[in-house]
Structure 1
Amino acid sequence: MRRVIRKVFVSKVFQRKVVLITGGCAGIGRALAVRFAQAGARLVLLDLDQAALDSLAQHLAEHHNAQVLALRCDIADAAAVRAAVALAVERFGGIDVLVNNAGITHRSAFAETDLAVFERIMAVNYFGALHCTQAALPSLLARRGQLIVMSSLSGFAPMLNRSAYNASKHALHGLFDTLRLELAGSGVNVMLVCPGFTATDIRKRALVGDGSVISQPIPFVGKVSSPQDTAEAIFQAAVRRKRLLVHSNVNWLARLLARLAPRLFERLLVPRLSGLKPS
């Protein structure tokens, strides 16, 4: 009986709620859009590819009867984000859940990475999340909503040849851990999500030191999760309004090891996390 009650509760939590997802066309973002649509949510999807947005919106409407507002938006552009959020509020009345999912990565040693690459990574991964949060926060406060922020294992553990990416994820933790404290008592929940390696296109479009895009995906030695499994874990954590979700093939032991025995962690796990085979 308890299981039945829990199942009914989960199915109703996001019914008619407005969920805004950045980077919503592919990978975890697309899987989240499908999962929230299945739960009866109304969706606002931001991405750079209008054709892909339109295709996904049609799929969600036809297969899940979802109401979708699909907007082309570069989240690194604060004015564009404010305009997109204003359209979402005008269309649906407000925003209940903001998922800061969009992100890019790179594969290059620090000494070989142009300043422009650091600036672009921070513009999307950090300032993009900041822009969206600033724009959506009044609505989230009014509706006692949720902020979901996609971080990474690199938010607490380094990966080789990802200095800009790692820095952007550490910055997200600093920003949103602080915001959580400032929002205490407001009814707004802030959840940081640290997935492990997931089969998405982010690694296939990684930048290199000069800002160009590598043609081959970054390798990884170990198990890779599916976007659907990661999205389901995020959805269930959102139902429980968790503060932190570490959904990883490396798991919490790696996080503990990184904090308590960093040298051992760097020797044993960092090469594997970075896609390097053990020597």
Structure 2
Amino acid sequence: MPCSALPCLITSASSFFQNTLSADSSPAAKPLAIISGGSAGLGLVIAQTFADAGYELILLGRSAERLEAAQRQLQAAGSAEVQWFACDATDPHQLRDVAANVTDRFGHLDVLVNCVGTSDRGRVCDLDASRVHQLIDQNVIATLHCSQAMLPLLERCGGVVVNIGSLSGKVGARFLGGYNLAKHALAGLTQQMRLEWREKGVHVGLVSPGPIRRDDAGHRYKDRVDDSLPEQAARPGGGTRVKGLPPERVAAAVLKCVRRRRPDLILPGYLRLLITLGNASPRVGDWLLLRFTS
């Protein structure tokens, strides 16, 4: 080898090892979580829980103003990496645009939490088809479209989808209008997603909490409770005798669902036995439900 080539070889080798050490010593990228419905309420608490666990966050919601407020709140609590997109979760075109932006910026997605939904009050005999369509759109179609849009990103790293269901997706309950119908549909969708996406390396779990503590509990649905319904219908869970859950407890269950890839979590946990008993014996199940809601 000519002596004149030796300095070049040494310089190239030095550059190679320096670049290798630099790449190996660089901090690992943080996992990324998208929280759909993350601008307020339970979704915002879930976002904070994932931020505390070291995740970068992307919040999805309809209102840019509320998303900006959520971003400020999370950053004030020490969450530096918070992005947001204002979009309609029932619009697949908007969600595909969000997915394209996430692909360009991050190239992957570790967790998707679908926390979009709304409850209802009323009796089945008074249930209007247009209201059913609204509830299905908000509680089921939004989850379907968002999950479909983010699936290619989730496949890249064997990610996890967590859908926020409800006890109303496990059993019936009086005075909740079309909410039971919508949440049962969401539970069925979640299981089908889990079975089909398993081969893609993507896990899909369902977290089904009972009534969640809120500052406006007992007043939020008064405008949907008329004289034909008892006063208890306006209460959390339509008056179900289950103590309100702290939203932080539900958020912790969502994180557990991700870390342990759990298929189905019910809160409070003791109700799983009663639900199983009711499924085995519908007469007993109906008796228990009437006891819990009267």
TM-score range, shorter chain: 0.7 to 0.9
User: Which AA in structure 1 matches 2:131?
Assistant: V
Residue 241 of structure 1: which of 251, 261, 282 is its match?
Answer: 261
Secondary structure (helix, strand or coil) at the match of 1:69 reads: strand
CA distance in 1, matches of 2:117, 2:256: 22
**Aligned positions, number:** 257
TM-score by length of 2: 0.79
Cα distance 1:204–1:133, how it changes in 2: closer, same or farther (>3 A)? farther
Aligned runs of 1:41-120 on 2, under 5 Å? 41-120=55-134
Report deviation, 1:205.
4.6
Cα distance 1:269–1:110, how it changes in 2: closer, same or farther (>3 A)? closer
Compare relative contact order (CA 8 Å, sep 6+) and give the higher one, 1 or 2. 1
Report deviation, 1:268.
2.5
Report deviation, 1:40.
1.4
Report deviation, 1:110.
1.6
- The residue aligned with 1:252 is 272
Cα distance 1:73–1:167, how it changes in 2: closer, same or farther (>3 A)? same
Aligned runs of 1:147-226 on 2, under 5 Å? 147-200=161-214, 205-206=220-221, 208=224, 217-218=235-236, 219-226=239-246
Cα distance 1:150–1:204, how it changes in 2: closer, same or farther (>3 A)? farther
CA distance in 2, matches of 1:96, 1:51: 26
Cα distance 1:74–1:271, how it changes in 2: closer, same or farther (>3 A)? farther
- The residue aligned with 1:18 is 32
Percent identity over paired residues? 32
What are the Cα deviations for residues 23-49 of structure 1, in whole angstroms up to 9, with x where unaligned?
Answer: 112232111100110111111111223
- The residue aligned with 1:37 is 51
TM-score by length of 1: 0.83
CA distance in 2, matches of 1:232, 1:23: 17
2:152 is the alignment partner of 1:128: no
CA contact (8 A) 2:109 2:157 kept: yes
Report deviation, 1:194.
1.1
CA distance in 1, matches of 2:240, 2:197: 37
Report deviation, 1:186.
2.5
Aligned runs of 1:129-148 on 2, under 5 Å? 129-148=143-162
Q: Which has the larger radius of gyration?
A: 2
Report deviation, 1:15.
6.9
Secondary structure (helix, strand or coil) at the match of 2:96 reads: helix
CA distance in 2, matches of 1:124, 1:138: 23
Report deviation, 1:250.
5.3
Secondary structure (helix, strand or coil) at the match of 1:185 reads: helix
What are the Cα deviations for residues 148-185 of structure 1, in whole angstroms up to 9, with x where unaligned?
Answer: 01111122200113342112122122222122222223
Q: Which runs of 5+ in 1 are unaligned?
A: 1-13, 211-215
CA contact (8 A) 2:114 2:162 kept: yes
- The residue aligned with 2:18 is none
Cα distance 1:57–1:125, how it changes in 2: closer, same or farther (>3 A)? same
Cα distance 1:114–1:271, how it changes in 2: closer, same or farther (>3 A)? farther
CA distance in 2, matches of 1:112, 1:224: 28
2:244 is the alignment partner of 1:230: no
